[in-house]
Structure 1
Amino acid sequence: MHRRFLTLTLATLTAAALTACTAGTEGAPTLGSRPKPSGSASAALPASAIELWHGFSAPGEVKAFEDAIAGFRTKFPQITVKLVKGVQDEQITQAVRGGKAPDIASSFTTDNVAQWCRSGTFQDLTPVIGQDGIDLSVLPEVSRSYTEYEGRRCVMPLLADAYGLYYNRALMKGSEPPKTLSELTELTKKLTVRDAEGNIEVAGFIPSFQYYENSASHLAPMVGATWYKPDGTSAIGSDPAWRELLRWQKDLVDWYGYDKLEKFRKSLGQEWSAGHPFYKGKVAMVLDGEWRNAMIAGEAKDLDYGTAPLPVSDTRPDLYGSGFTAGTVIGVPKGAKNPQAAWELVKYLTTDTSALVTLSNALRNVPTTKASLESPDLDKDPNFQTFLDIFAHPKTSTVPANVNSTFNQDTVQEFLGRWEKGAVTDLDAELAKVDKRLDDKLKLSGG
């Protein structure tokens, strides 16, 4: 849930910084120079101290990380581990450029993975993964896809977010959660309540792309829309699934009335507060991530709600049960002082079932190996199980790694804001312009 607080401006600044050369790391040991291990890893590693930077900051989150590495400290008593909390991406990048890299760093966002891999900001883990005989099939394919770029796996997946549908049982009045877009439209209209002037009092579902988690990346899997062609250029204008999503969304916006929908949306409580409109019965169904279960437990414990996969295109029933995912990533930056010990901790945190279950139980994010998803020690109820199933679904997707990931998503979001407002008269022409902006940026980036 925590990476949602990262701003697009921060990600953009980080991406810009990543294009600069890395200084101050000449002569530092690397994973590429690691000798082939013999015997146990514990015996082979000398006494050392490593520093791990992460973005978690709340006391419970910090404790979760400490608890998760307890087993590592038992396995490697000669290695001292220092955890540094509340670190964001640009701090990692600047530290690497300044020759003061931590041994390990984690990030809440996958948007910088392509730049990190291409620039060498994070070291390629492929050699040590092979040396240690790690079978990457223990990770779902989608999490493998967002942790590598151009053949370099420079980070590993740690925890994941999965997105689904939350629904208020009282407001649903016995209706089952919708499985298709047409069912979502019908139920939205049935559950929406207006006053005598037509103002919205309760929304069945808010279709606005500006509403909380309703970003293009989170909604695209509902219709199987793709971001890029095989050659890396934009598929936004050529993939008909985008048109299907846009026309469905605009029809529902127009049914509400754009001005009335905006008036209602702007009157609602904050997403990250106890005043969330879903808690207050102002919205019957919302798109959200798995972390919302934990927030409901703390902020609206009496709320009677359920969870389900997101509805999908009526022509793509095979997509039902899937959704969008992205996740926390972790790796060894260039210039790490003790990269071999750092790799052992990265490997432990990302492949050890006990460590992943400990983190998931405390943070209520999805663990990222098949064994941890199925562990009997994982705390799960039907509402959380929904997101475990979404993450594991073979058709669950993400935004593919791209050196311009943040720019591309910002560009699409800007267009979507104009689209739902009714400022776009020629959809095909505007989508072609989106393609051109993305493709021109790719050329500038050497793609």
Structure 2
Amino acid sequence: MRRPLVIPAAAAAGLALLTACTAGTESSGPPKVGASATDQTPVTIEFWHGFSADSELKAFEDTLAGFNQKFPWITVKATKAIQDDQIIQSVRGGNPPDVALSFTTDSVAEFCKAGIFQDLNPYLTASKIDGTALFPKVIDEYTQYDGKRCVLPMLADAYGLYYNKKLMQGNEPPKTLSELADLAKKLTVKNAKGDLEVAGFMPISQMYENSPIHTGVMVGAKWTNPDGTSAIGSDPQWKKLMTWQKDLTDWFGYDKIEKFRKSFGDEWSADNPFHKGKVAMAIDGEWRVAMLADSAPDLDYGTAPFPVADDQPERYGAGFITGTVIGIPKGAKHAEAAWELVKYLTTDTDALVTLSNAIRNVPSTLPALQSPNLKKDEHFQTFLDVFANPNSTTLPAHLNSVFNQQALQEAQIKWESGRADDLDALLADVDKRIDDKLKLTAGG
């Protein structure tokens, strides 16, 4: 599942440094694929991942048990709650794990260019695996950059709208932004002091999964032009979305809605406000289905696609697509054994279905999507449909993907909080920041 995007400046600098100093340092020649199967000398490999919820960790234990049965001489030492910056620093420091998992595709372009993960194309070729035939097109594309496939997909994420049926008071889930705004106002409950007790919907960009990378899909907004420069200021859809968000935020009162947001529990815990009935509708990923089953089993809720711009009804059913990616870091001590684990977690149908059924992520291979063992309840089916919708999108691969998202979200916070009053100028400044950064990166 996708975690909040946080890559510190020090880690970003590490990416730049690695880009400059790692060219040509990968080992030459084909990998010794299958060596671990014929040698069978006991080996322990380190596996870093970002999962932390109890249900996720249990799912991983069950899946790794299947790997251990197949490769009993390979012991997997798993470390949880790892973030991208820790992976970057481990490679930079010369002490990386053997296998590492990232919750986002945001840094794939930089990971590939900087050589943080090894190119897996030689491993796939040696194992006679055709990625273009195994993975759906959008997934196949976001694990590659500039001819390198430095990571493989391990489950995918699709985003949609969750709604509390009791709080909805019989209303159907909204299909347009105007319907969402009207219903958000109707379902909001305030106390005598005007403070929020229940929000129909939280429109601000700082609310958990409301970042522009997710909400931009509701209006079909573009991030970049064909040459990689920013399209944010010139695409009227961003202005449409941010105006809609600001209007609804102003209805709540920014200070009131921020006070309410800061009272919420951790997004990844049972204290999530949707679990507690404090918000009627929320943007979230498919993994919330498993979390609700685990920590709020009595909650009566539904799932639906994102509402879309009123003038784009044909786009209803689309959503944002991303996923978890996994690879072998540069400098891994046991690359052959590491490949066996990566291959198992990304291509084995039973392993992917086991994980999908447990943590409710979308399977990332065509055989797993079609498996009769894949559980498809009404809540989860919504996200399978979003995943299959031709209008669903992902973020285009870009060397400055992380920076671009941060630049836009910083502007959104200024706008919705009332600290900026000229939206055109604000978005033009976002374009300038992104394009200036692109010039520096391209010049490096």
Contact 1:12 1:406 in 2 (8 A): no
Deviations for 1:118-156, whole angstroms, at most 9, x for unmatched residues? 011211122333441414243222222321222211100
Aligned residue among 95, 107, 128 for 1:112: 107
Amino acid at match of 1:423: R
Name the structure 1 match of 2:14: 17
Aligned to 1:188, the other structure's residue is in SS state helix
Contact 1:349 1:356 in 2 (8 A): yes
Structure 1-normalised TM-score? Answer: 0.88
Name the structure 2 match of 1:82: 76
Deviations for 1:365-405, whole angstroms, at most 9, x for unmatched residues? 22211222232222332112212222232322222222222
Aligned to 1:170, the other structure's residue is in SS state coil
Deviations for 1:343-367, whole angstroms, at most 9, x for unmatched residues? 3332221111101011222333222
- Structure 2: distance between partners of 1:396 and 1:373: 17
For residues 184 and 12 of structure 1, do their structure 2 counterparts lie closer, same or farther at Cα, with a shift above 3 Å needed? same
- Structure 1: distance between partners of 2:309 and 2:53: 39
Aligned residue among 42, 64, 68 for 2:63: 68
Name the structure 1 match of 2:359: 363
CA deviation after TM superposition for structure 1 residue 158, in Å: 0.4
CA deviation after TM superposition for structure 1 residue 219, in Å: 0.4
Tell me whether 1:93 sits opposite 2:84 in the alignment.
no
Amino acid at match of 1:83: K
CA deviation after TM superposition for structure 1 residue 60, in Å: 5.2
Name the structure 2 match of 1:123: 118
CA deviation after TM superposition for structure 1 residue 7, in Å: 6.1
What is the aligned-residue identity percentage? Answer: 58
Query: Equivalences for 1:374-413 in 2 at 5 Å?
Result: 374-413=370-409
Query: Equivalences for 1:271-286 in 2 at 5 Å?
Result: 271-286=267-282
Contact 2:35 2:336 in 1 (8 A): no
Contact 1:42 1:76 in 2 (8 A): no
- Structure 2: distance between partners of 1:421 and 1:168: 27
Contact 2:165 2:301 in 1 (8 A): yes
Name the structure 1 match of 2:141: 145
Aligned residue among 314, 322, 329 for 1:318: 314
Aligned residue among 248, 258, 261 for 1:252: 248
- Report the more deviating stretch, 240-249 or 191-200: 191-200
Amino acid at match of 1:140: P
- Report the more deviating stretch, 236-245 or 295-304: 295-304
Aligned to 1:371, the other structure's residue is in SS state helix
Aligned to 1:333, the other structure's residue is in SS state coil
Aligned to 1:174, the other structure's residue is in SS state coil
Amino acid at match of 1:116: F
Name the structure 1 match of 2:350: 354
Structure 2-normalised TM-score? Answer: 0.89
- Structure 2: distance between partners of 1:442 and 1:357: 40
- Structure 2: distance between partners of 1:353 and 1:93: 30
Aligned residue among 301, 304, 308 for 1:308: 304
Aligned residue among 30, 34, 48 for 1:54: 48
CA deviation after TM superposition for structure 1 residue 416, in Å: 0.4
Name the structure 2 match of 1:288: 284
Amino acid at match of 1:124: D
- Report the more deviating stretch, 409-418 or 93-102: 93-102
Amino acid at match of 1:178: P
- Report the more deviating stretch, 229-238 or 127-136: 127-136
Amino acid at match of 1:53: F
- Structure 1: distance between partners of 2:258 and 2:84: 33
Deviations for 1:392-436, whole angstroms, at most 9, x for unmatched residues? 323222222222222221111111011112232222121111100
For residues 277 and 82 of structure 1, do their structure 2 counterparts lie closer, same or farther at Cα, with a shift above 3 Å needed? closer
- Structure 2: distance between partners of 1:63 and 1:260: 39
Aligned residue among 152, 159, 182 for 1:163: 159
CA deviation after TM superposition for structure 1 residue 43, in Å: 9.4
For residues 65 and 262 of structure 1, do their structure 2 counterparts lie closer, same or farther at Cα, with a shift above 3 Å needed? closer
Contact 1:29 1:336 in 2 (8 A): no
Name the structure 2 match of 1:423: 419
Structure 2 residue ranges without an equivalent (≥5)? none
Aligned to 1:171, the other structure's residue is in SS state coil
- Structure 1: distance between partners of 2:394 and 2:321: 5
Contact 2:36 2:337 in 1 (8 A): no
Count, aligned residues: 438
Contact 2:131 2:140 in 1 (8 A): no
CA deviation after TM superposition for structure 1 residue 244, in Å: 1.3
